Amino acid sequence: MRLVTTRRMTPDDWARRHRRYGPDTGVPGPRRPDLTPYVIPFARAFSDPRYRRSVLVCGAQQGKTDTLLDVVGERLDNHPAPIIYVGPSREFVTDMFEPRLVELFRQAPSLASKMLGGFASKRQKKTLKRVSGTTIRLAHAGSSVSLMSTPCALALVDEYDTLLRDVQKRGDPLGLIEARGLTYAEFVSGVCSTPSRGNVEVYTDPASGLELWAPAPTADVESGIWLLFQTGTRFHWSWPCLHCGEYFVPRFACLKWHGDRPSPYEARETAHLTCSRCGGVHHDKDKAEMNRRGVYVAPGQSIARDGTVTGDPPQTSTASFWVSGLASPFVTWNQRAEDHVRNVRLGDMDRIRTSINSCFGELYSPGTGELPEWDDVLKHRGDYARGELPEGVLALVMTVDVQRDRLIVAIRGWGARATSWLIDWGEINGETTELEVWDQLIDLMQTPLHGMPLRAVLIDSGFRPGLKDDLPTHRVYDFCRRFPRSVRACRGSSWPMRVPLMRSRIEVDSRGGTAKYGLQILRLDTDHWKSWVHERLRWPLGEPGAWYLPRDVDEEYAKQIVSEVRTRAPSGRVTWAQRFKENHALDLEAMQAAAGYLLGAHRARERSESPPLREPSVERQEATSTAPVSWHDAGRSSFWERERDW
């Protein structure tokens, strides 16, 4: 009897030595892990004692499944132990992964000889293989039994973002899977997936000068794999620029094509990649060389021009890696550009999301490429400070967003031709079921700003403070009844309206009886007024109708302005998708836009201008009327003196 000793080797070394593709595959011959060098560090992390989990975020067709098979083959061949592979569904496991696993055993003779009873044995089940005296179980996330039944030393989770978040009320699948390894001291798990939805930003790492993904608040990210990536080392696949020699991180923003609105064919023919440092242009033929010299860099590490990485990655038990779909050797940049432009042309948000997730390996944030980012909003800062009154202001408007524990307030000044300036904003903290917070709002309303009083106050009545049984009186409606000349309750409509603003009147009180004084409600077309605000973000500064912010406006306010984006479903219905958790500023500014319309700000004139031709008097409007009220410094009477117009 001859004893044969084995030694551990890296999964990529094992694959080079033992795996051979058949003539029916796209790349027949010996396995070439170097074709996708960006997945090699992910596979090697399984044997690194520093890490208990290895995470890979990537696009589609980037070689991750073959890499998982390399990890399985090396472990079964050289250090056998129970393995569990988890896919998103039974069909995915049995129809897609299991045939490739069987093919792995055929490709590697050292494994085929270790299969119990051979390929045709009845002991080899569709979801349970016996190799090297141990087992590899294939499970899916829809069954808690398959996830909890077998202890394992190695767990592999594929397409994590498509897994159920709560498996049969038993909890997160990854938690159930990793609990199976508590009895193994060397247990390690691997998780890979294309990402889904979320909103993240880019920052420049001071150590390397690379533009890396910044950690985002959990509330802003729906993608489970991205949240796992954030808890780990956050390695970014980086390429050398063939022009300036410096390294940069390739991402969707680096892919360019000619023309503002090219056809899919034009995008395909002119697609190229630019260096984020020098703007150097690269073409698809350069990809192989850039991948060959590519390296992973984590926050806090530095990289030299020769590709040498120095410094330690963040200390964590999770090795996490992100690589752009642009690095795939199987799909050209030209094809990526053509597919994306075609999806954008179709206007199908699901197709666009698939393009961003699968083709580029990035989070899909609604409005990507269509809406300015929050730092672009800051470009609307004017030459005045918060609380100051710019010279062009002719009227002040306050809008109020009602929450359970506070009132959120914004004051904007309106001038000629709908030019406007944000004057002040803030919160009045306190339970809105109590009168104290409303008394503070009265004090704020009745305090003139540099001698100028408020012309109008709009309060969102979509949220009702307190339960009706506990507080029969509607606090917002009661407040508006106290100030019938200056304050209006308003509600947004999530469905398209015939006109952007409608007036209606409540003739009953909160208890169902006849109201002594009717209350007028303003119904706002949410889509129209939020779109108006976003249109103003593209309005040139210095032109009539410009939309200004004070020079000391905070970043949070700017982020909230672009916290939602307009999307259109294939059915044609328009919805507003949330990008950030907080969106109060956008709601306040949408109400401001409606208030400016009511005031007729678009027809207002500068004080030095002559008044327009006298307009016919405005009679009481019907509930569906949207006729604006014109106002200017000379000519007609004050807006607040014309009660019937309001």
Q: Percent of the chain scored above 70 by pLDDT?
A: 83
pLDDT at res. 183: 81
Q: By three-state DSSP, how is residue 534 classified?
A: helix
Q: Average pLDDT of the chain?
A: 82
**What pLDDT is stored for residue 610 in this prediction?**
37
Integer-rounded Cα radius of gyration of the chain: 31
The structure tokens listed for 433 are: 């079921």
Task: Give the per-residue pLDDT at 607.
Answer: 58
Position 493 pLDDT exceeds 90:
no
User: What are the two backbone dihedrals, phi and then psi, of residue 434, each rounded to the nearest 5 degrees?
Assistant: -95, 160
User: Could you give the CA distance from residue 364 to residue 232 in angstroms, rounded to a whole number?
Assistant: 21
In DSSP terms, which residues pair with 508 in a beta bridge? 514
Confidence band for 155, pLDDT divided at 50, 70 and 90: very high
Checking if the pLDDT of 577 tops 80, the result is no
What tokens were used for 139? 């499970």
- Of 393, 365, 361, 76, which Cα lies nearest the Cα of 200? 365
Mean pLDDT of 560-587: 76
Q: Given this model, what pLDDT does residue 601 score? A: 85
Residue 645: band (very low, low, confident or very high) from pLDDT cuts 50, 70, 90: very low
- What is the structure's pLDDT at 512? 47
The pLDDT value recorded for residue 509 is 54
Residue 171: Cβ within 10 Å count: 14
Give buried/exposed letters for 464-473 (b at 16+ CB in 10 A, else e).
Answer: bbbeeeeeee
Are residues 151 and 135 in contact, defined by beta-carbon separation less than 8 angstroms?
no
Q: How sure is the predictor about 468, in pLDDT bands with cuts at 50, 70 and 90?
A: low
Encoded amino acid at 347, one letter: G
Q: Where are the alpha helices (DSSP H) in 457-583?
A: 475-482, 526-536, 555-561
193-197 average pLDDT score? 90
**For residue 608, is pLDDT > 90?**
no
Average pLDDT over residues 436-456: 91
Q: Which is higher by pLDDT, 582 or 452? A: 452
Question: pLDDT value at position 498?
Answer: 79
- What pLDDT score does 475 carry? 83
Q: Is 227 exposed, middle or buried (0-12, 13-18, 19+ CB in 10 A)?
A: middle
Residue 489 has pLDDT above 70, yes or no: yes
* Extended beta strands in 430-529, E state: 454-460, 487-493, 501-508, 514-525
Answer yes or no: is pLDDT of 626 > 50.
no
Please name which of 103, 81, 86, 99 lies closest in space to residue 31, comparing C-alpha atoms.
Answer: 103
Q: Give the percent of the chain with pLDDT over 90.
A: 42
pLDDT band at 119 (very low <50, low <70, confident <90, very high): low
Q: Which residue(s) pair with 211 in the sheet?
A: 204
pLDDT at site 165? 61
Whole-angstrom Cα distance, residue 413 to residue 422?
6
- The per-residue pLDDT for 1 is 44
Q: Report whether 163 contacts 141 (CB < 8 A).
A: yes
Instruction: State mean pLDDT over 354-381.
Output: 79
- Residues 544/549/552/555 CA torsion (nearest 10 deg): -140
Weakest-pLDDT range from 138-142, 511-515, 640-644: 640-644
Task: Report CA-CA distances (Å) from 226 to 55, 301, 425.
Answer: 9, 21, 34
pLDDT tens-digit profile of 66-101? Answer: 999 999 999 998 889 999 998 888 888 888 898 888
Please state the pTM of the whole predicted model: 0.66
477 compared with 399, residue with greater pLDDT: 399
Average pLDDT for 211-232: 90
pLDDT band at 636 (very low <50, low <70, confident <90, very high): very low
Residue 241 tokens, joined: 């620029």
Q: Can you read off the two tokens belonging to residue 49? A: 């004692």
Residue 192 has pLDDT above 90, yes or no: yes
Which token pair is 299?
């926050």
- State pLDDT tens for residues 322-343: 999 999 999 999 999 999 888 8
| Confidence class for position 604, pLDDT limits 50, 70, 90 | confident
Q: Which of 2-16, 268-282, 336-350 has the lowest mean pLDDT?
A: 2-16
Helix (H) or strand (E) holding 424: strand 420-429
Question: What is the structure's pLDDT at 286?
Answer: 95
Residue 399's CB is within 10 A of a number of other CB atoms, namely 25
- Decide if pLDDT at 635 tops 90: no
Which segment, 234-248, 377-391, 510-524, is predicted with the most confidence on average?
Answer: 234-248
Residue 458: band (very low, low, confident or very high) from pLDDT cuts 50, 70, 90? very high
Around Cβ 425, how many Cβ atoms within 10 Å? 22
3-state secondary structure of 452: strand
Separation between Cα atoms, residue 274 and residue 282, nearest integer Å: 6
Which 8-state DSSP code applies to residue 619?
A: P
Number of DSSP helices (H) and strands (E) in the chain, helices first: 20, 29
Q: How many angstroms separate the CA atoms of 339 and 210, rounded?
A: 28
pLDDT at residue 629 tops 80? no
Cβ atoms of 109 and 161 closer than 8 Å: no
Residue 143 pLDDT exceeds 90: no
Task: List CB contacts of 24: < 8 A, sequence separation 6 or more.
Answer: none
Which whole number is the average pLDDT over 461-486? 76
- ∠289-292-296 over CA atoms, to 5°? 125
617-635 mean pLDDT: 31
DSSP notation for 336-347: HHHHHHHHHHHT
